[in-house]
């Protein structure tokens, strides 16, 4: 991630913001959660938290995994999920099959690496001699990843000095206040014609809030896109889109988890399995400018 630029003297005061994509300041209320509002831009349809916590508060939550603003005490440290390793080995093997067939060593950086599941997955399938690393700002996650022998550094993309052929940005988009600026930082550590892999959801494509089958986790998640929004970010930042993979998320397992959450009082949208418009989107793109 890019570290939010903050004024260390700023006290807690929520800030009203314009659309992070198109800059428009007209919006409609889309959802409320944890005392925060998610609004939908009337011009481009991007969904974003507005008013938003100050950047200093966002930066602190990114480092610690805990949101302490006012009455909210939201812990997002979570835990390592071993099943992610096999999941991403399959997906990345498919989406980058042409690269791995060459059997040439690569340099890959996973941004927002968390507990290191993506680094593990790529390390298992990358050709011999490859350098697979991660960068993660949340201390508890970094410490556990390092204890397991993974090459994950604590910090932000702006702390990276090396250059890479490939960069993955998995489920990071929603945490970034300004994704356009973030992509500019990403480009600084990319070799010529390097590629990125972005994964995020399509919440901005599902219509009303009731059609989104899960919690929004506001204000840990700040921005929610749809497919065309990510296409626009990539094109405007000098990337050529190579492939898109769309995955369902509303299988039987998801339905059972949401049923349990609903029973214990969590706010989720209960739908029959395989009926939700929600998708996980993966974008493979190449730097061309």
What per-residue confidence (pLDDT) applies to 276?
82
- Reference 12, options 62, 65, 64, 68; nearest CA is 68
Q: Could you report the per-residue pLDDT of 237-264, keeping only the tens digit for each?
A: 999 999 999 998 877 777 777 777 777 7
Q: What is the band of 73 on the pLDDT scale with cuts at 50, 70, 90? A: low
pTM (2 d.p.): 0.88
Give residue 96's pLDDT: 98
More reliable by pLDDT, 128 or 82? 128
Residue 11 pLDDT: 42
How buried is residue 161: exposed, middle or buried, by Cβ count under 10 Å (0-12/13-18/19+)?
A: exposed
Instruction: Supply the pLDDT for residue 6.
Output: 47
Q: Where are the domains of the chain?
A: 83-287
Q: What is the pLDDT of residue 78?
A: 67
Classify domain 83-287 by CATH number: 3.40.50.150
Cα(5)–Cα(3) distance, rounded to whole angstroms?
Answer: 6
Question: Across residues 86-98, what is the average pLDDT?
Answer: 97
Where are the strands (E) in the chain, listed by range? Answer: 27-33, 36-41, 47-49, 66-67, 74-75, 107-111, 131-136, 152-154, 164-170, 190-201, 223-224, 239-248, 279-287
- Residue 264 — φ and ψ, nearest 5°? -90, 10
pLDDT at 13: 62
| Nearest alpha carbon to residue 202 among 228, 234, 179, 221 | 228
């Amino acid at each position: 991630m890019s570290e939010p630029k903050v004024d260390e003297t700023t006290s807690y005061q929520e800030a009203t913001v314009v659309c992070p994509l198109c800059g428009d300041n007209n919006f409609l209320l889309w959802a409320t959660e944890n005392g925060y509002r998610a609004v939908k831009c009337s011009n481009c349809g991007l969904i974003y938290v507005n008013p938003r916590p100050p950047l200093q508060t966002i930066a602190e939550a990114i480092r610690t995994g805990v949101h302490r603003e006012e009455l909210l005490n939201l812990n997002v440290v979570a835990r390592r999920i071993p099943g992610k390793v096999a999941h991403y080995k399959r997906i990345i093997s498919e989406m980058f099959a042409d690269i791995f067939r060459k059997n040439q060593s690569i340099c890959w950086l996973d941004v927002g690496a968390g507990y290191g599941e993506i680094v593990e997955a790529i390390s298992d399938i990358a050709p011999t001699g490859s350098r697979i690393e991660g960068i993660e700002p949340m201390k508890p996650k970094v410490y556990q990843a390092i204890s397991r022998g993974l090459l994950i550094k604590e910090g932000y993309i702006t702390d990276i000095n090396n250059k890479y052929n490939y960069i993955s940005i998995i489920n990071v988009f929603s945490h970034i206040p300004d994704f356009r600026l973030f992509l500019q930082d990403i480009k600084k550590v990319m070799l010529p014609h390097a590629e990125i892999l972005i994964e995020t959801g399509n919440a901005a494509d599902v219509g009303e809030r009731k059609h989104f089958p899960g919690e929004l986790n506001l204000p840990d998640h700040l921005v929610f896109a749809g497919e065309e929004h990510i296409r626009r970010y990539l094109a405007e930042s000098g990337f050529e889109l190579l492939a898109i993979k769309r995955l369902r998320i509303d299988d039987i397992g998801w339905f059972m988890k949401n049923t349990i959450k609903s029973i214990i009082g969590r706010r989720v949208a209960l739908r029959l399995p395989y009926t939700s418009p929600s998708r996980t989107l993966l974008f493979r793109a190449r730097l061309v400018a």
